[in-house]
Amino acid sequence: MSVSIKQRLAALREQMPPVDVATAAALVEDGAWLVDIREADEIAQGTPTSARALGRGFLEMRLEAEGACADDTIMLLCASGSRSLLAADQLRGLGYTDVRSVDGGFDAWKDAGLAFETPVMLDNADRARYARQLTLAEVGEAGQTRLRDARVLIIGAGGLGSPAALYLAAAGVGHLGIVDHDVVDRSNLHRQILHRDVSVGQPKVRSAFATLSALNPAIDIEPIQARVTDDNAAELIAGYDLVIDGSDNFSARYAVNDACVAARVTLVYGAVERFSGQVGVFPAGGRPCYRCLFASAPPAGAAPSCAEAGVLGVVPGLVGTLQALEALKLIVGMPETLSAKVLTLDTKTQRWRSVQVPANPACPTCATMG
């Protein structure tokens, strides 16, 4: 004879007595987790200010991605307290030792006059566009909202900036700034995939704006036609959360690095030479920085340009894509990134290696950063 849901809930209430909302609020003050497992349309009507809105689907994966431990105190909240009991039972079966359901759910929380907020949620069009990302426990609605609210500046609309911009736009980064001073040349087209043959002779930022706007009209694209210098780098990065450096010259790289260190803005670095590439992340705290990796530019002529050395278009495409990947991971809050590391890749032999970048105590740019 099957057990009804009503009987199952009654049994669970005896096995795992729910906590009332006042107790739940007090436990949150002591560091416990409060997790709202309701659906997105319910959360749009309000959620406790202290809650993490993770939903019920793939809840255990989302908790793990958020950094929850098996012995943490975790309180689950739904609309009235039924779904949270069932979810708590599942989590206990997976090894979480202190999971509780909030009695009465959000209805009781609100009736008790406890603090809640009405978050700005994704609309139905966004949920359709980003459906495959939203399914990922590491992204979800909260991560997609962070992407929507993020402001990323891309230095260069060339071989690195092209794939980075395309993937960030496709992923839903809400505001993308694209800086470049150059015009599209036909020799660019085999690797600079933002541009089309009809764009030859146009400013790269205008071509980039057209391509990215067509890909995702829901985001803001800011074309900035300028050459990066020591004089304007700080002004260019002002107001941005993260910078992707896809520049092709050392003077721009050092100018961008120094401005990011001063403003405490995360810098995602990339470089390509023939079949080799590098990707790294210099954190917002300012240490280490690009000058810790390369204290000064090599002598003139020591590092050949793409025009001199040649490059397969797929190599900067790969590096720029990895830059976009690191940017997305940083924005949604994934713990494992290339922060303070550089990934080197030799695409001829497919040898990839990640190395830690130590902060240089004598670095002229970041040594004084706290």
Over residues 226-267, the pLDDT tens digits come to: 999 999 999 999 999 999 999 989 999 999 999 999 999 999
Average pLDDT over every residue of 319-338: 95
Pair 351, 292 in one domain: yes
CA–CA separation, 112 and 212 (whole Å) = 47
Which of 92, 121, 150 represents a domain boundary (last residue)?
121
CA–CA separation, 197 and 300 (whole Å) = 32
Within-domain flag for 368 = no
Pair 153, 208 in one domain: yes
CATH number, domain containing residue 323: 3.40.50.720
CA–CA separation, 277 and 295 (whole Å) = 19
Task: Tell me whether strands 33-36 and 52-53 are parallel, antiparallel or unpaired.
Answer: parallel
Pair 214, 314 in one domain: yes
CATH number, domain containing residue 74: 3.40.250.10
CA–CA separation, 204 and 136 (whole Å) = 34
Pair 111, 144 in one domain: no
Q: With 60 as the cut, is the pLDDT of residue 10 above it?
A: yes
pTM score = 0.79
Q: With 80 as the cut, is the pLDDT of residue 171 above it?
A: yes
Which of 121, 145, 162 represents a domain boundary (last residue)?
121
CA–CA separation, 221 and 307 (whole Å) = 29
Within-domain flag for 256 = yes
What distance, in Å, lies between the first and last C-alpha atoms of the chain? 66
Within-domain flag for 361 = no
Question: In the chain, pLDDT over 90 holds for what percent of residues?
Answer: 75
Domain extent for 57 = 5-121
Instruction: Assess whether 69 carries a catalytic annotation.
Output: no
Within-domain flag for 306 = yes
Tens-place pLDDT, residues 114-124: 999 988 778 88
Tens-place pLDDT, residues 178-221: 999 999 999 999 999 999 999 999 999 999 999 999 999 999 99
How far is residue 362 from each of residues 257, 262, 288, measured CA to CA in Å?
16, 16, 11
Q: With 60 as the cut, is the pLDDT of residue 1 above it?
A: no
Q: What is the mean pLDDT of the chain?
A: 92
Average pLDDT over every residue of 124-143: 90
Residues 6+ apart with CB under 8 A from 289: 257, 260, 261, 267, 282, 359, 363, 365, 366
CA–CA separation, 164 and 254 (whole Å) = 20
Pair 271, 290 in one domain: yes
Which phi and psi (to 5°) does residue 53 adopt? -85, 95
Which of 86, 103, 121 represents a domain boundary (last residue)?
121
Contact between 310 and 274 (Cβ < 8 Å): yes
pLDDT of residue 24: 95
Q: How many domains does the chain have?
A: 2
The active-site residue out of 78, 260, 289, 306 is: 306
Pair 107, 224 in one domain: no
Residue of 241, 267, 242, 238 whose CA lies nearest to 252: 267
Within-domain flag for 218 = yes
